Amino acid sequence: MSIRIVLSVLLVFLVVYPPCSVGQQLAATPPMGWNSWNHFAEKVDDATVRVAADALVSSGMRDAGYIYVNIDDTWEGTRDAAGFIQANPKFPDMKALADYVHSKGLRLGIYSSPGPKTCAGFSGSYGHEEQDAQTYANWGIDYLKYDLCSFGTIMEKAGSKETAHQLMLDAYQKMSNALKKTGRPIVFSLCQYGIDQVWRWGPSVGGNLWRTTGDISDDYGRMTEIGFGQAGLSKYAGPGHWNDPDMLEIGNGKMKPDEYRTHMTLWALLAAPLLAGNDLGSMTPETVSILTNREVIAIDQDVKGVQGDRFWAEGPQEIWVRPLADGSKAIGMFNRADEWSGPAKIQINFRDLGFSSPVSVRDVWAGENLGIMKSYEARVLGHGVVLLRVK
């Protein structure tokens, strides 16, 4: 047997029997992968998911760390006589699909709601939590996004804010317990748009990540409203439990390359999950290069797991800093001004970041070492970013 075959068999084995099943932490770094919603919405089906899985491999994204293939809303069918959920005809055999995804060295994610209906009006898990968790485990599911949706109506009827809050916590805890009971390691992703400061209690109900905001769209204004709106949340993230500012829009076509680089940079500094939300089957080389930049991904996936935060802001210019495990710091210098206003000069004095002697400076997107410096002045285009890594 050639070494390639041995390595492939080992990779598939590790995916089917993830090491976390023997005690390692789930989501030790922010989850990376793909989710169907941003591009395909209700059009997702078995074939779409297989194309995405194939493309994760052929584009090099899997090897860059993108391993979760997550089916979002609209896969759900009806329940059988015993109450077990079935996929609708778009997904004729979920177990076979999971086997296919696993055979590529990838993991499969799925979606449900604690309410009776999902946001798109399909069957939710209300009253069937244990059955659903067991079904997911039987299929070989590795990730669950659990979206509040119609549970909001149950909360509205609760009578008081406190009762509604407790009902929501109980609902998430219930599914977390059900997932644990299956014995299969399944990443638990809370989606309730940041209600009641979820970052304060998300980990206590078993969340590995939690959406901090409403939905993103493929628009610079909305993307930056969410991304820069994460200021102050860094202390709530860490290995196993992450703030989730929503899935990526990179490659969906409505932002410019500089804007997508801003998106990727912000998400990396925020230790955000990197869930590509584009059509992986038809990506431009530029989209692939933004999504797979190893140095940017290394910042996102840094093992220290400390989320970055806003360091300085003046008008439309901002500097965000993230401390990294090797003692270096990632520094994002953003110019939020319109593109037509021309480049802005943004200066950083490394002493202000706690470096007592000059540091070696690398421009990450340019892939260039800039030298040993005490301070640096970047020229940053409107809607653009300069990302440094200094040590």
Residues that bind ligand GLA (CB under 6 A): 37, 72-73, 118-120, 147, 191, 215
DSSP per-residue codes, 330-364: EEEEEE-S-GGG--EEEEEEGGGGT-SS-EEEEET
- The rounded distance, in Å, linking the Cα atoms of 15 and 285 is 28
**Min separation Cβ 192 and ligand GLA, Å:** 9
The DSSP element (H or E) to which 191 belongs, if any, is strand 187-191
Q: Which two tokens stand for residue 40?
A: 């395909």
**Min separation Cβ 374 and ligand GLA, Å:** 44
**Catalytic annotation, residues:** 147, 215
> Which CB sits closer to ligand GLA, 110 or 137?
110
> Which CB sits closer to ligand GLA, 99 or 215?
215
> Which CB sits closer to ligand GLA, 72 or 302?
72
- The rounded distance, in Å, linking the Cα atoms of 11 and 334 is 39
DSSP per-residue codes, 256-304: -HHHHHHHHHHHHHTT--EEE-S-GGG--HHHHHHHT-HHHHHHHT-TT
Q: Which two tokens stand for residue 43?
A: 């059009």
DSSP per-residue codes, 243-258: EE-----TTSSSS-HH
> Which CB sits closer to ligand GLA, 44 or 270?
44
**Min separation Cβ 88 and ligand GLA, Å:** 14
List the end-to-end C-alpha distance of the chain, in Å, as a whole number: 44
**Min separation Cβ 147 and ligand GLA, Å:** 5
Residue appearing with tokens 């979760």:
68
**Min separation Cβ 155 and ligand GLA, Å:** 16
Q: Which two tokens stand for residue 70?
A: 């997550």
Residues whose CB falls within 8 Å of the CB of residue 292, separated by 6 or more in sequence, listed in order: 59, 60, 61, 64
> Which CB sits closer to ligand GLA, 275 or 324?
275
> Which CB sits closer to ligand GLA, 155 or 386?
155
Q: What radius of gyration, in Å, describes the C-alpha atoms of the chain?
A: 21
Question: Which is nearest to 115 in space by CA: 77, 171, 164, 190?
Answer: 171
**Min separation Cβ 79 and ligand GLA, Å:** 19
Beta strands, E only, 32-164: 32-35, 68-70, 76-79, 85-87, 107-112, 143-147
